[in-house]
Amino acid sequence: MAEFKKAVEASKVPPDSMRTVEVEGDYVLIANVDGTYYGMGAYCTHEEWDLSEGTLDGTAVTCAGHGTVWDLKTGKGVFDEPLEDEPLYDVKEEGGFLYVKRR
């Protein structure tokens, strides 16, 4: 995903919320933290739970599965065993829509 791709209407990701969006075959967790958007892989690399079902606290996302805490800024998760990092995405807003690009 070398270019920005249209993902979702910005109004569907209000402040302090997150949702999983499918963008041309990639599943991206888009989070809005106080008006700043973050993009990260949407499925936990532990056992593939959808991270949008978890909780958002600042830039920390806690997986509803078994409690891994993911950092939206780094794509790294803290768990009791090493986990593969999540991919990160740049997110931009334009004309009422959010666009994502894999870093």
Q: Which residues bind ligand FES (CB under 6 A)?
A: 44, 46-47, 49, 63, 65-68
Yes or no: say if 3 and 102 are a contact pair by the CB < 8 Å rule.
no
Q: At closest approach, how far in Å is the CB of 56 from ligand FES?
A: 14
Q: At closest approach, how far in Å is the CB of 102 from ligand FES?
A: 21
Tell me, rounded to whole angstroms, the distance of Cα 30 from its chain centroid: 4
* Closer residue to ligand FES in complex, CB, 7/42: 42
Q: What is the number of the residue whose Cβ is closest to ligand FES?
A: 65
Q: Where are the alpha helices (DSSP H) in 8-83?
A: none
* Closer residue to ligand FES in complex, CB, 4/49: 49
Strands (E), the chain: 5-9, 17-23, 26-33, 36-41, 55-57, 60-62, 69-71, 77-78, 88-94, 97-102
* Closer residue to ligand FES in complex, CB, 52/68: 68
Q: At closest approach, how far in Å is the CB of 79 from ligand FES?
A: 6
Q: At closest approach, how far in Å is the CB of 22 from ligand FES?
A: 19
Question: Residue 9, exposed/middle/buried by CB under 10 A (0-12, 13-18, 19+)?
Answer: exposed
